[in-house]
Structure 1
Amino acid sequence: MVRGVLEDGLLAWRGIPYAAPPVGELRFAAPAPVVPWEGVLDASEFGPIAPQPFSYRLIRPPSAVVPSDEDCLTVNVRAPIRDAGDSTLLPVLVFIHGGGYSAGSSRDFSGQGEGFVQSGRIVFVSFNYRLGALGYLDFTAYSSAERSFVSNLGLRDQLALLQWVQDNISGFGGDPDNVTVFGESAGGNAVTTLMATPSARGLFARAIAQSPPPTAVYSQAVTSRWAQDYVDILRDVVGARKTADGDAAADGLALLPPQQLLTEAPVDDLVAASVTLQASIPDAYPGAFCFAPVVDGELLPELPIRAFRDGRAHRVPLIIGTNDREGSIFRGRVDILPRTPERIDALFERAPVSSQQAMRDAYPGLPGLRAGADFGGDYGFWYPSTRVADFHSRYAPVWSYRFDVAPRLLEILGLNATHGIEMFTLFDSTEEPLARIMTSLGGQEAYAAAGERMRAFWLQFAEDGIPAETWPRYEERTRSTLIVDAEDRIESDPRRERRRAWNRFIPSLAG
């Protein structure tokens, strides 16, 4: 039994374990069954967030200290209050938070979902999963008879959560046969990856991928190198702590074999090493994200983009889309896209010579700041999303969108409708401090209205699998796309010339 709370006119249950704490012998192990508790579990407070490198700024309510812990595998449920005797099961929305698989949590404003639940039409689920090296590096090469390491831990956590929903959500008023999984950014990647994961079959009926990087999934040949780089960095981190703190135990730890080092290192050292690795990857491997799923031949047998192309992805209805200028926000600490001249040159060196002029024509001024940002954002998010839409539409219903609404301040700053901008308005959170700053110079009304329309589409899709009669299905022949703007419109094959340039530039995705 669990005991929730009544909050803002809604029922809320928080911090419910959906798997055993992944600590001790279970660090780097697949999620294990929940440890039973006695009596009634107090589900009034969020569980700790997954260990991550900095305090996440989108937490609500504000807190000076947001606790993090390896024991982070918890789920939250929000449901509308219903009339006594109403036993009708409601559709379920399961939200997977973003954050580059290295940050974020179910405590974020987007993980709480009041705007959706206040409709009275759905039950909303959010959850934490393992991040960074603890969830998204492949250490299987270091497995031994004494200690095994499991791949795709964050993905396995997501599967465990979806199984928990199947087994338990009816007790909260949700229909396990009508589950829509949706996420943004890394959460969108999780959605497209789950659609290509055979063991996810039957765990959800529909999917929504917002600004996903669908091709951020890599072979073991690549991820094993990243794992080795990480172990080397971790030794340096532990050694530096010994030098700084005079910690003799740290000196001994740095000399341990990789298996022991990974299992015995303090979590703060693991996170510190993650930061260093993540900062090095965009230059060493332009266009790559080091914390991402791996094609391990077991849980994930092939690249998701190939599964979509060949019809092996789960044939569920899909909404997929991106924002107008995905790449404009990726600067400073989140400068992970191939948007600098050096990174762009590296991609051009890998592309067919015959494709390069068409690509430069598609992005006038490349590798300048604006053109480089659009090139990098399209490489990571928009173009591969168009390929997922093309491929999946051959086998299942697809709806495509582009979010173009940008408050005036973001236009002045040259960010426009950048990555993640739709989240505040979609989740009816335009009063959040950052959203208020964004709309301080105007545009709040159009921004809020766009989010309200999107939320209506998502709710309708969760209920019956069709977002709106006025939103045509996506087909390769027409590529009809909803442009969410001050006034919505439908465009056929938007940015056609860019798409054609990318088809020649990355022939492996032209499919």
Structure 2
Amino acid sequence: MTTDTLVIHPTTGPIRGTSGGGVDVWKGVRYAAPPVGDLRWRRARPPHPHDEVVDADAYGAVAPQAQMPGFNLGPGVVMDEDCLFLNIWTPLGASTGSRPRPVMVWIHGGAYVLGSSSQPLYDAARLVVDGDVVVVSVNYRLGAFGFGDFSSLNEHLDEPRFESNTALSDVLLALTWVRDNIGAFGGNPDNVTVFGESAGAGVVTTLLTMPAAEGLFHKAIAESSPATSMYDHARAARVAAQFLEAADATHDELVGLAVDRVVKATMTLMDRVPTDTPGTIPFAPVIDGDLVPRNPMDVFRDAESLPVPLLIGTNKDEAALFKWMRSPMMPIAPADIERMFATLAAEYPEVTLPPRAQITSAYQGMKPKVVGLGVARDIAFRMPTVWIAQAHSQRAPVFLYRFDWATRMLRVLTLGATHATELPYVFGNLSMGPADITFRLGGRKTGEAVSRRMQRRWTSFAHRGDPAADPTLPWPRFDSATRATLVIDAEDRVVDDLDAELRQAWGDEVLGFR
């Protein structure tokens, strides 16, 4: 249903939303100029305002990407370089009320090359109704379009043409749009929480170290952040050269290169780079000395991150999904893990890794393949998260979790609580169609209870900066003395210094790989 009360007048021009299911929704709202033509490979620019009322009743185009089986980007999805749109869910009538709600801005994951805000999994209606919050979800550029740094090619040009960290500039502009406009939708621009998963969480942890992001958000949630997947200009230049080779293009042709060739070359490198150098991926935020002035892990270590409360955690079986997908993104085989350590030692001589025997001692008694899953999980996700929690707790309140809940079906499939399995519980979308087998062997009632608790914790954090505001849901702050961690399972529990042996084996020094 659409009504004139749902016509809102943001600075970019009037838009008309829809109502239903207890929420008001505005979809496909343009927050940036189309990044095409002269704006391709450049940072986001504000859009030209419009005077006519635009119907915001359908998702906007998603960033160009490879079509992946089982990866539902949304009904009737259209891919286009012109993809910088956001969506807003509010409680029914919030835009005409006098009580502003907390705002949660969702940044989707997908290894920096996949995903969209229109994925059915991210429909925010349940989160909005049950949590009394406003939710905004954001599309940003992906793959080479968003995370390729071709600034090394500017030396061949009369005028600089390529800019770094274009995807991060997209998110910054989206957050600026939220700051300037969300009040008209019933949201509180002075109470904004950014939250994301996987690559989206990597964006979140990077934002926490970016001076340009200061003041644009007031709390942060990072679910399974690949925080150390961060590269410098020299490595970005090597990837740029590999990209041109994969695309069979010159730097002059890159400006007008067909979208399908850009996507194809992107996915070629997504296979080639982690195969050649295990433990690395080709596309991620770049330490450019500008938007990202320093290695984020160094910023955290030096206690110079933005002083906003942080809720952060990982899943118990992160790496199982990558094994199941046969993805080269995470080294699991013993030989690949050995190559990964050798590469890290060669590429980052300034980083002192713990002795190999010290690390492997924490995995004694496990089968080699299980050891591989553990090492991959811990170097990619778990240990960076623990390091960030320890460092950021010197700046602001931190709440650390580990998601352990898995249905019987996921355990039978040897996936367990793998990467991204917490997402349906956060958004309250436990039924993703007839092909979803998650609850085929039972567990639905328990899963619904897990979801209710997670939503109450996540939205309590958005409201007050404390996920334990409800006394029936304790969750103490993390500190370096107790290292309290909430284990989310069929029954939640708080454990001090969870995985202490792993932490001690890897060490407490924040390692900043570049």
Report the TM-score when normalising by structure 1. Answer: 0.91
**Equivalent residues of 2:127, 2:426 under 8 A apart:** no
Q: Is residue 498 of structure 2 the alignment partner of residue 479 of structure 1?
A: no
Q: Give the Å deviation of 1:333.
A: 5.3
Q: Is residue 46 of structure 2 the alignment partner of residue 33 of structure 1?
A: yes
Selected match of 2:224 from 198, 211, 221: 211
Q: Give the Å deviation of 1:363.
A: 1.9
Alignment CA distance shift 1:85-1:291 (3 Å): closer
Aligned equivalents of 1:436, 1:234: Cα separation in 2? 36
Alignment CA distance shift 1:342-1:423 (3 Å): same
RMSD: 2.0
Selected match of 1:172 from 185, 200, 203: 185
Q: Give the Å deviation of 1:346.
A: 1.7
Equivalenced residue count is 486
Alignment CA distance shift 1:230-1:167 (3 Å): same
**Equivalent residues of 1:116, 1:427 under 8 A apart:** yes
Q: Give the Å deviation of 1:7.
A: 2.5
Selected match of 1:45 from 45, 50, 58: 58
Selected match of 1:231 from 228, 244, 248: 244
Query: Structure 1, residues 430-475: CA drift from partner, whole Å, max 9, x if none?
Result: 1113784011012222222112101100111111111105210000
Aligned equivalents of 2:64, 2:152: Cα separation in 1? 23
Partner of residue 376, structure 2:
376
Aligned equivalents of 2:277, 2:462: Cα separation in 1? 38
Q: Give the Å deviation of 1:145.
A: 2.4
Partner of residue 304, structure 1:
296
Aligned equivalents of 2:468, 2:422: Cα separation in 1? 19
Alignment CA distance shift 1:12-1:449 (3 Å): same
User: Partner of 1:225: helix, strand, or coil?
Assistant: helix
Aligned equivalents of 2:491, 2:172: Cα separation in 1? 38
Query: Structure 1, residues 257-310: CA drift from partner, whole Å, max 9, x if none?
Result: 41x221111000000000101101112222112110000001101111111111
Aligned equivalents of 1:70, 1:459: Cα separation in 2? 33
Which stretch of the first structure deviates more once superposed, 424-433 or 296-305?
424-433
Alignment CA distance shift 1:56-1:164 (3 Å): farther
Uncovered stretches (5+) of structure 2, i.e. residues with no partner: 1-13, 346-351
Selected match of 2:329 from 295, 311, 336: 336
- The letter for the 1-side match of 2:72 is I
Selected match of 2:162 from 124, 149, 160: 149
Alignment CA distance shift 1:181-1:507 (3 Å): closer
Query: Structure 1, residues 93-118: CA drift from partner, whole Å, max 9, x if none?
Result: 00000001100001013432111111
Aligned equivalents of 1:402, 1:307: Cα separation in 2? 24
Identity %: 41
Q: Is residue 117 of structure 2 the alignment partner of residue 115 of structure 1?
A: no
Selected match of 2:140 from 129, 134, 153: 129
User: Partner of 1:458: helix, strand, or coil?
Assistant: helix
**Equivalent residues of 1:136, 1:152 under 8 A apart:** yes
**Equivalent residues of 2:94, 2:186 under 8 A apart:** no
Which stretch of the first structure deviates more once superposed, 276-285 or 128-137?
276-285
Q: Give the Å deviation of 1:342.
A: 2.6
Partner of residue 76, structure 1:
87
Report the TM-score when normalising by structure 2. Answer: 0.91
Partner of residue 499, structure 1:
503
User: Partner of 2:220: helix, strand, or coil?
Assistant: strand
Alignment CA distance shift 1:405-1:72 (3 Å): same
- The letter for the 2-side match of 1:32 is R
Alignment CA distance shift 1:25-1:212 (3 Å): same
**Equivalent residues of 1:234, 1:273 under 8 A apart:** yes
Partner of residue 171, structure 2:
158
**Equivalent residues of 1:483, 1:490 under 8 A apart:** yes
Which stretch of the first structure deviates more once superposed, 205-214 or 326-335?
326-335
- The letter for the 1-side match of 2:89 is R
- The letter for the 2-side match of 1:449 is A
Query: Structure 1, residues 395-446: CA drift from partner, whole Å, max 9, x if none?
Result: 2100000010000011112111010001112211111137840110122222
Which stretch of the first structure deviates more once superposed, 203-212 or 80-89?
80-89
Query: Structure 1, residues 124-160: CA drift from partner, whole Å, max 9, x if none?
Result: 1001000000000110011122451000011110000
Q: Is residue 400 of structure 2 the alignment partner of residue 400 of structure 1?
A: yes
Q: Give the Å deviation of 1:328.
A: 0.7
Query: Structure 1, residues 339-378: CA drift from partner, whole Å, max 9, x if none?
Result: 1223211234356797212222212367722221121011
User: Partner of 2:205: helix, strand, or coil?
Assistant: helix
User: Partner of 2:446: helix, strand, or coil?
Assistant: helix
Please list, as runs of the form range in 1=range in 2, the aligned pairs for 1:253-402 lying within 5 A after superposition: 254=249, 257-258=250-251, 260-331=252-323, 332=325, 334-349=327-342, 350=344, 355-364=355-364, 368-402=368-402
Aligned equivalents of 2:340, 2:32: Cα separation in 1? 41
Which stretch of the first structure deviates more once superposed, 74-83 or 265-274?
74-83
User: Partner of 1:226: helix, strand, or coil?
Assistant: helix
**Equivalent residues of 1:186, 1:213 under 8 A apart:** yes
- The letter for the 1-side match of 2:334 is P
- The letter for the 1-side match of 2:293 is P
Aligned equivalents of 1:409, 1:55: Cα separation in 2? 23
Which stretch of the first structure deviates more once superposed, 146-155 or 201-210?
146-155
Uncovered stretches (5+) of structure 1, i.e. residues with no partner: 236-253
Alignment CA distance shift 1:360-1:60 (3 Å): closer
Alignment CA distance shift 1:471-1:509 (3 Å): same
Q: Is residue 222 of structure 2 the alignment partner of residue 198 of structure 1?
A: no
Which stretch of the first structure deviates more once superposed, 428-437 or 98-107?
428-437
**Equivalent residues of 1:478, 1:493 under 8 A apart:** yes
Partner of residue 251, structure 1:
none
Bigger proportion of residues as helix: 1
